[in-house]
Copies of this chain bind each other. A is one copy, B any other.
Amino acid sequence: MGDIDNNGYHHNLKVKAFEIETGKLIAILHERDAKELGIFAGERVELLNPKNAKRCIAVIDVTRHAVKEDTIGLFEEVMRALSVKSGAIISAKASEQPRSVDYIKKKMKGEKLTKQEIITIVDDIAKERLSEIEATAFVSAVYMKGLDIDETIYMTKALIDGGAKSNFKKGPLVDKHSVGGVNGRASMVIIPIVASAGLYMPKTSSRSITSAAGTADAMEVLAPVSMSMDKIRSITEKHGGVIAWGGAVDLAPADDKIIKIEHPLSLDPEGQVIASVLAKKASVGSKFVVIDLPVGKYVKIKDKTVALRMAKKFVQVGKEVGMHVEAVITNGEDPSGMAFGAALEAKYALEILEGRRFDNLAQKACELAGVLFEMVGLVKQGKGYDKALEILKSGKALKKMKEIIKAQGGKIDSSEKVPKPPLKKDFKAGTSGIIEEINIRELTKIARISGAPANKTAGIMLHKATGEKAAEGEVLMTIYAENKDKLISAESYALKSMPFKFKKIILRTIR
């Protein structure tokens, strides 16, 4: 016990640097030092660099081998927080669990959290004060116990307060968000349309979590999407729109960490999704937001009751944080356009802008842009769609998109320049008939097995839409991949899952 002073400090710990960024504040102690300090693995120490009086709190890993006694292993983030180098001597002392651990436990028991408790949790997550176990327990609790409307409002406000804020000088600022599960990049059509009409849409989009591509993944095929908030603002103020990756901006650091935990388990608790979406829009400064809620058998929202409940929450929470939000329930039964995958979806959006295609995705883009036109009062109620269609058909939207791609530093500004996938395989109809149903969830899975979204050119191109006829042997879709292994896996999964359902004449046989 000789190393510990009257105040519980161990003053003689030699720093061993581990040059790894862990994204967390972690330190490693020998088990005997940990015991002397009275702490176990996963608990916390307060570290002090006596040279400059800098302090930080780190979560402890306990070892018998990685560091010797009277040595402390520090990862990059801790080294930086203390401004300390390998070989320096620092002090450590047991530190209590942050208060938010009690609040997490409270939520796990199904109790309602107060505003202050949610603020504390969000702050502790953002500042890396929670261990991965504690943060995961919180996300799991929110998934299993839910957030009610008050908690969702508190969460939204806490996320906004904890993040970067932008300061646009122009307006009206508009935005759009689709709640998961559908293919097709409507945003890449909507943004140039609304920007052409004099609105401003600084879109910070996400990468795919469960879909074949996120808007950020698709846009990245055409132009860089990682940029600072300043650049987002300057491009938007100059060109009326931008399509950036939200993760590169510190819009809601706690939310980015929560999403990292949700990802491996594909969790998407309703309250958290609403808070996450609206906080990011509010941080950018958007005043008019349209939320697209696709409802369909094979997408995230399966029935209209759920969509209606979410829609009302989106509107109410929006109002609480000073935004005019309108939520639209859309048809999520059919694929939205024919493409699944980053490059394929980017190409498809360009083809719509170039006037080469007009289908349900193009129509959706015009309808949503129309809602925004009506919300800001640019046109009369009921006239938004016509205005959007007119802009699309005039070629102004295409010109605007080329401008935005260039402003973001991209060079691929026509559908013909989009990189082509190296390998492909046609998937043919085994029978003739009318296609009654196309299973978006299975198509997404096939596209992901083929390598999407990490492999940019991988994915699927449909050749038939719902309701169309197909003859035996006719190509229903083409699967694209960047390596043979994934192409074969994707094809064999497609054969097994059979995402196309043909209309039957005999519906039932009675024997």
Contacts and interface: CB of A to CB of B under 8 A. Distances in A.
Pairs A-B, 10 closest by C-beta atoms: A38-B454, A140-B140, A136-B136, A6-B484, A8-B485, A20-B66, A7-B485, A42-B264, A144-B144, A133-B136
A20 B22 contact: no
Interface stretch (A49-57, A97-105, A287-295): A97-105
Contacts of A484: 6-7
Nearest to A105: B265
Contacts of A36: 454
A141 B141 CA distance: 8
Interface string A54-70: 00000001011110000
A503 interface: no
A137 interface: yes
A19 B264 contact: no
Contacts of A358: none
Given A108-B265, A144-B144, 5 more contacts: A6-B485, A108-B140, A133-B261, A133-B265, A140-B144
A264 B133 contact: yes
A38 B455 CA distance: 6
Given A65-B76, A66-B21, A108-B140, A482 B264 contact: no
A42 B263 contact: yes
B483 A7 contact: yes
A66 B18 CA distance: 9
A134 B485 contact: no
A442 interface: no
Given A38-B454, A132-B133, A264 B97 contact: yes
A20 B143 contact: no
A223 interface: no
30 contacts: A1-B422, A1-B482, A7-B483, A7-B484, A8-B486, A18-B20, A19-B65, A20-B28, A20-B66, A36-B454, A38-B486, A39-B454, A40-B263, A43-B264, A65-B76, A66-B76, A97-B264, A101-B265, A105-B266, A108-B143, A110-B144, A133-B136, A133-B264, A133-B265, A134-B264, A134-B265, A136-B137, A137-B139, A140-B141, A144-B145
Contacts of A266: 105
Contacts of A357: none
Size range of the chain A interface in the assembly: 35 or more
Contacts of A8: 483, 485-486
B141 A132 contact: no
Contacts of A63: 20-21
A192 interface: no
A170 interface: no
A319 interface: no
Contacts of A61: 20, 22
Given A4-B482, A136-B133, A140-B108, A21 B264 contact: no
Interface in A105-159: 105, 108, 110, 131-134, 136-137, 139-141, 143-145
Contacts of A454: 34-40
Q: Which of A63, A97, A267, A485 has the most CB of B within 10 A?
A: A485
Q: Which of A8, A73, A101 has the most CB of B within 10 A?
A: A8
A121 to B, nearest CB: 13
A451 interface: yes
A5 interface: yes
Nearest to A265: B137
A88 B282 CA distance: 50
A85 interface: no
A105 B139 CA distance: 13
Contacts of A65: 19, 21, 76
Contacts of A6: 483-485
A495 interface: no
Contacts of A451: 38
Interface in A322-362: none
A104 B265 contact: yes
A37 B458 CA distance: 12
Contact of A264 (B131, B263, B422): B131
A147 B129 CA distance: 31
A501 interface: no
Q: Which of A65, A137, A486 has the most CB of B within 10 A?
A: A137
A260 interface: yes
Given A63-B21, A137-B136, A454-B39, A4 B483 contact: yes
Contacts of A19: 65-66
A41 interface: yes
A99 to B, nearest CB: 14
Contacts of A110: 144
Contacts of A4: 482-483
A154 to B, nearest CB: 21
